[in-house]
Copies of this chain bind each other. A is one copy, B any other.
Amino acid sequence: MTKFVYSFGGKSAEGKADMKNLLGGKGANLAEMCHLGLPVPAGLTITTECCTAYYNNNCQLPDGLMKEVWAGIAKMEELMGMKYDDPQNPLLVSCRSGARISMPGMMDTVLNIGLSSKTIPGLLKRTNNPRFVYDSYRRLIMMYADVVMEKAEGIEPAEGKSIRKQLDDMLDAFKKQKGYKHDTDLNAEELQWLAEEFKKKVKEVLGAEFPDDAKEQLIGGIKAVFKSWNGKKAVSYRRIEGIPEDWGTAVNVQSMVFGNMGERSATGVAFTRDPATGDNRFYGEWLINAQGEDVVAGIRTPNPINDDTKNEKNRHMASMQELMPEIYDELFAIRGILEKNYRDMLDIEFTIQDGKLYMLQCRVGKRNGLAALVMASDMLREGLITEREAVMRLTPSQLDELLHPILDAKDEKLQRVIAKGLPAGPGGAVGVIALTPDAAKAYVAAGKSCILVREETNPEDVEGMRVSEGILTARGGMTSHAALVARGWGKCCIVGCEALDIDMEAGTVTIDDVVYKEGDVLSLNGTKGNVYAAAIKRSDPPANENPLFKEFMAIVSKYCDMGVRTNADNPQDTSNAIGFGAEGIGLFRIEHMFYGENSETPLEKLRSMILADGEAQRKAVLAELEPYIRKSVKATMKVLNGRPFTIRLMDPPLHEFVPKNEEGMREYAKEHNMDYAELYERIENMKQVNPMMGVRGVRLGIIYPEITEYQFRAVFTAMVESIKEGNTPHLEVMVPLTINVAELRHQKDIADRVKHEVEDKSGIHFDYKFGTMIEIPRAALVADKIAEVAEFFSFGTNDLTQMTFGFSRDDVNSIVGTYLDEKIIDADPFEIFDQECVGELVKIAIERGRRTRSNLHCGVCGEHGGDPKSVEFFYRNGMNYVSCSPFRVPIARLAIAQLAIKGVERKQL
């Protein structure tokens, strides 16, 4: 029969730290501490397999389980010198959950199990502390009724009032009647009386007696913990964290020790290093004569455990180091043993019962990004961990945290979230509301930081976006204009915040009937998508100038074995990205160069090109645009200094560039000396019902070949000029939105012709690669044919996701929200790459493309290229590189290094 119960205690245990899958994190670490010889109250762990068996068995405990449990209890009795359900010297136990990975507060716990009319007299006699006994008893009743009798039985609280709330209300009413302020004011008799009243209330409300039998109590506790694995909170937490449903939880049944048995008792929590700064100092808090939950719940302000933990607020409070120096020394020694054993920072819980120290828990401690960086660096220097381990110590999201100023977590907690949107640009921003780019510029000129709040942004807004601290839009998804531009700059940005109701005329933003005016302060948490109507403090400036960060990234580089390029459209972003470790440009969008700061004139020209009346006029405008493109490409070539440079031919979303309303059109017509009616008609003819699937990308270059021609002329001329100046550009040009090879041949003919012209004229011959985006499902399926012409592939996973799902990224917010709520999808496919289907198309395209051209170079230039989970897919499936916005470059590099260190298998390139 499967072994379901693992005992621990007395410096030995049946489990150990690496048995987390079976014993849960808590159980495995308790066992490990026993092996290390640390003082752990004896106990037993019921395995996660038992939880699975319980659910497979229609929520019945498996046969034979309780026999194993009672055998384990017998071992505990021996080690603790007490007996469970014994009238003289009763052992009390706790019953706690423990999943493979920590799910703090998501599952249930019952303490003080074993108290009954049979055992209470013995405990009274042994402790000589009736107040403690009856306080423990009434706590048991409250917890048990709540967790075991109500929640685990699935009873819906009558009139929405849970039994827990009803018992709490009784306690409060009694205190009020007696004029008491604190629970501690109640004496033993009163607690005894209350316990009896509680039991009556339980019977009345739940229709069942509180069990007066210790054995029944334990069985109920075990079942309730299993049951809580599928409680609402736990299920929703698992969904968010991506924890599989079938992992199950272990149950830890452990001997109770009490920190609340008097002045020689205490309880506390500590971190082996400072989790906020990462500093190598022992950091913790404790409370004398208290139980663990008192420290956690914040009812009493806990004392510092040592001098290192003292700060301005708690400097006057007595530390454990001062009051119980021997025990502190023992704890400090344990800290050393644990860190040496676990080779990481640990979060520990301890209790002192009547002068004796007990370890109740240890686990790897949570930390913020900065602390993670500091600890990894320190531990590497201390020789505690290897370089490979150091690389594994920062999650990509911790690294991300380091790259942006963030809102102060404590200050943020004090504020109410007034609206939520999509977290399009991480970090924190604080400033006054500006509703137009001009207002934003005016505020900044006046020395005020501002948040640009828009329905959605478009290229005309770019100047205002650049000067703003943060950007907030009511519409658009993770790949909307605002999101793309903001991410490129590493700027805080929230998009698709549908609660916003912007009234431009009134100059107001209304959220839930509250009206905010231009000039009112907002704070944005761009990592979470939260909006606040207050000025929240910001934490330290980004750490990317931190030398530790640079050292860390240098180590990461040693292990990063897949290329990381950047999506950049101008020399400045390119330079940033190279600083972050980018190996070149994977996506240079020609039309994006018109979004920039100093681009007033060219943007206007681009618009004229789009609105041109016939080929001749279009060519005239293109001829004016060409030198501008050439200059920008050449400047970027200079910055790149020979690194790969992938330029995408224009894919301008036409509808974003033309005047939208009558006013704009009249103005344009006037400026360009045009007939309004004619302009109106031209724009009407250009309108598309579904612009995303309309005249875009290569379609534009086939309908108007001159657009392609002028781009190649600009790029190739930049190329020969750069070569003349001694540079050796590594140029790649790609065609967007391809559906078949004929499109590529058509465009390549133009490119070849222009190349000969430029070469003949300059006398300089050069090489470059002609490639294509793969971003339409059809292209993926005919990749073998496409590779006959395309010398490289770059996967546009945003568009590919759109077409594969039939989701318009502009409209998808309302759908994705409901789909996530209804568990129809696990994640927004524009955030996390859909490996199942979009992934299959990518795999098909790579495989077929390389069938034709065995050394075909493949990369990804959608925003997925900066998402660690997605990067893993690309890593496994034969991609040569990913390309992402500059601020995602370090994250992608870290993710890749970690995959390499984990030895993740890659498809042969």
Of A689, A782, A807, A823, most B-chain CB atoms within 10 Å: A689
Tell me if A810 counts as interface (CB < 8 A to partner B). Answer: yes
A455 and chain B: residue at smallest CB distance: B684
A695 / chain B contacts, CB cutoff of 8 Å: 811, 814-815
Tell me if A825 counts as interface (CB < 8 A to partner B). Answer: yes
- Give a binary string over A825-842; 1 marks a CB under 8 Å from any B CB, 0 the rest: 100000000101110110
| A86 smallest CB distance to B (angstroms) | 52
Docked complex Cα distance between A815 and B804 (Å): 21
A739 / chain B contacts, CB cutoff of 8 Å: 805-806
Docked complex Cα distance between A822 and B778 (Å): 19
- Is A811 touching B690 in the complex (CB atoms < 8 A)? yes
| A898 smallest CB distance to B (angstroms) | 29
Given contacts A693-B692, A695-B814, A803-B803, contact A824 B703 (CB under 8 A): no
- Is A806 touching B776 in the complex (CB atoms < 8 A)? yes
- Is B808 touching A689 in the complex (CB atoms < 8 A)? yes
| A245 smallest CB distance to B (angstroms) | 14
A824 / chain B contacts, CB cutoff of 8 Å: 702, 740, 742-743, 746
Tell me if A802 counts as interface (CB < 8 A to partner B). Answer: yes
| A151 smallest CB distance to B (angstroms) | 25
- Is B742 touching A823 in the complex (CB atoms < 8 A)? yes
Of A695, A806, A841, most B-chain CB atoms within 10 Å: A806
- Is A803 touching B777 in the complex (CB atoms < 8 A)? yes
Tell me if A819 counts as interface (CB < 8 A to partner B). Answer: yes
Tell me if A187 counts as interface (CB < 8 A to partner B). Answer: no
A854 / chain B contacts, CB cutoff of 8 Å: none
A826 and chain B: residue at smallest CB distance: B742
Tell me if A781 counts as interface (CB < 8 A to partner B). Answer: yes
| A225 smallest CB distance to B (angstroms) | 30
Tell me if A737 counts as interface (CB < 8 A to partner B). Answer: yes
- Is A841 touching B807 in the complex (CB atoms < 8 A)? no
A501 and chain B: residue at smallest CB distance: B681
| A519 smallest CB distance to B (angstroms) | 25
Tell me if A642 counts as interface (CB < 8 A to partner B). Answer: no
- Is A693 touching B802 in the complex (CB atoms < 8 A)? yes
| A31 smallest CB distance to B (angstroms) | 39
- Give a binary string over A670-694; 1 marks a CB under 8 Å from any B CB, 0 the rest: 0000000000000000001111111
Given contacts A824-B740, A825-B740, contact A781 B837 (CB under 8 A): yes
A837 / chain B contacts, CB cutoff of 8 Å: 777-778, 781-782
Tell me if A867 counts as interface (CB < 8 A to partner B). Answer: no
| A505 smallest CB distance to B (angstroms) | 12
- Is B690 touching A808 in the complex (CB atoms < 8 A)? yes
Q: Which of A742-778 contact B (CB under 8 A)?
A: 742-743, 746, 775-778
- Is B822 touching A702 in the complex (CB atoms < 8 A)? yes
- Is A806 touching B737 in the complex (CB atoms < 8 A)? yes
- Is A691 touching B689 in the complex (CB atoms < 8 A)? yes
Copies in the complex: 2
Picked from B688, B737, B808, B825, the residue with its CB within 8 Å of the CB of A742 is: B825
Docked complex Cα distance between A778 and B825 (Å): 13
A840 and chain B: residue at smallest CB distance: B781
- Is A810 touching B778 in the complex (CB atoms < 8 A)? no
A799 / chain B contacts, CB cutoff of 8 Å: 806
| A612 smallest CB distance to B (angstroms) | 16
A697 and chain B: residue at smallest CB distance: B806
Picked from B693, B737, B778, B818, the residue with its CB within 8 Å of the CB of A808 is: B693
Tell me if A699 counts as interface (CB < 8 A to partner B). Answer: yes
- Is A689 touching B805 in the complex (CB atoms < 8 A)? no
Docked complex Cα distance between A882 and B79 (Å): 77
Docked complex Cα distance between A836 and B840 (Å): 17
Of A799, A802, A804, A823, most B-chain CB atoms within 10 Å: A804
Picked from B692, B699, B746, the residue with its CB within 8 Å of the CB of A690 is: B692
A814 / chain B contacts, CB cutoff of 8 Å: 695, 703
Picked from B804, B810, B819, B825, the residue with its CB within 8 Å of the CB of A803 is: B804
A822 / chain B contacts, CB cutoff of 8 Å: 702, 742, 746
A705 and chain B: residue at smallest CB distance: B822
A740 / chain B contacts, CB cutoff of 8 Å: 824-825
Docked complex Cα distance between A702 and B814 (Å): 11
A805 / chain B contacts, CB cutoff of 8 Å: 693, 739, 776, 778
- Give a binary string over A852-876; 1 marks a CB under 8 Å from any B CB, 0 the rest: 0000000000000000000000000
A699 / chain B contacts, CB cutoff of 8 Å: 815
A807 / chain B contacts, CB cutoff of 8 Å: 693
Docked complex Cα distance between A818 and B811 (Å): 29
- Give a binary string over A776-794; 1 marks a CB under 8 Å from any B CB, 0 the rest: 1110011000000000000
Picked from B688, B742, B782, B806, the residue with its CB within 8 Å of the CB of A693 is: B806
Docked complex Cα distance between A806 and B841 (Å): 15
| A141 smallest CB distance to B (angstroms) | 40
- Give a binary string over A584-618; 1 marks a CB under 8 Å from any B CB, 0 the rest: 00000000000000000000000000000000000
Docked complex Cα distance between A740 and B838 (Å): 13
Given contacts A693-B692, A703-B815, A808-B689, contact A841 B743 (CB under 8 A): no
| A508 smallest CB distance to B (angstroms) | 15
Docked complex Cα distance between A812 and B695 (Å): 8
Docked complex Cα distance between A702 and B816 (Å): 11
Further pairs besides A690-B692, A776-B804, A781-B841: 4, Cβ < 8 Å: A692-B808, A702-B818, A746-B824, A777-B841
- List 7 contacting pairs A-B, 8 Å CB cutoff, sorted by A: A689-B808, A690-B690, A693-B811, A695-B811, A703-B814, A776-B805, A782-B836
* The 9 A-B residue pairs with the shortest CB-CB distance in the complex, in nearest-first order: A690-B808, A689-B810, A693-B808, A694-B811, A742-B824, A776-B806, A781-B837, A690-B690, A688-B811
